[in-house]
Amino acid sequence: MQPHISFAGWRVALALRRLIAGVSIGATLLLVAGGPSFTSAQEKKPAVTATNSAGNAASARGKYIVTEVAKCGNCHTPRTSNGELDYHRWLAGGPVPYLPAQPGQDWPLLCPRIGGLPPASDAQMITLLTTGIWTTGKPLRSPMPEFHMTRADAEAVLSYLKSVRSGHNPTE
């Protein structure tokens, strides 16, 4: 005979299961997608060649974080019919390419566009990247990791995101 669980207890248990599943998925994604570049991001700062302004240097640093550390394109870029990233629609948003570990979770079906004009104000994007808190005052849902970047890194990421133009391959 199973013990009776109250509705509140059931909600806590469900929230705990979601948290554990989200953390597990996030850790797996970081290990698979980020690999060693995520754990050694500070040691692998990109060599920035002579730039015309601090804005260009910040954008280059942001590009490095977006493409090589956080791997934002893996979710925020649509895929082609063969499953490859569609670089003609780099960071234009698209279907979430991963399924939740447990069916019925509050799992998003779409990733928003973040390239060109990000989906929030500059201050809100900086808050998201430095605290993991969205404009609603709540953390984003899995599978989005709760970043805790330095303000300088968050500003660099935002500078890069705002510089993205559709159809431009980020590796060029």
Q: How far is CA 95 from CA 107, 115, 120, 162, in A?
A: 11, 15, 19, 21
Query: Does residue 97 fall inside a structural domain?
Result: yes
Query: Does residue 113 fall inside a structural domain?
Result: yes
In 45-119, where does DSSP find H-type helix?
A: 54-64, 73-76
Query: Does residue 172 fall inside a structural domain?
Result: no
What pLDDT score was predicted for residue 6? 53
Domain span at 158: 7-163
Query: Does residue 1 fall inside a structural domain?
Result: no
Query: Does residue 84 fall inside a structural domain?
Result: yes
CB atoms inside a 10 Å sphere around CB 56: 15
Nearest Cα residue to 75 out of 54, 60, 58, 92:
92
Number of domains in the chain: 1
Show pLDDT as tens, one digit a residue, over the chain (172 residues). Answer: 555 555 455 455 555 556 555 555 554 444 444 444 444 444 444 433 444 456 788 889 999 999 999 999 999 999 999 999 999 999 999 999 888 888 777 888 899 999 998 999 999 999 999 999 999 999 988 888 888 999 999 999 999 999 998 656 665 5
Query: Does residue 169 fall inside a structural domain?
Result: no
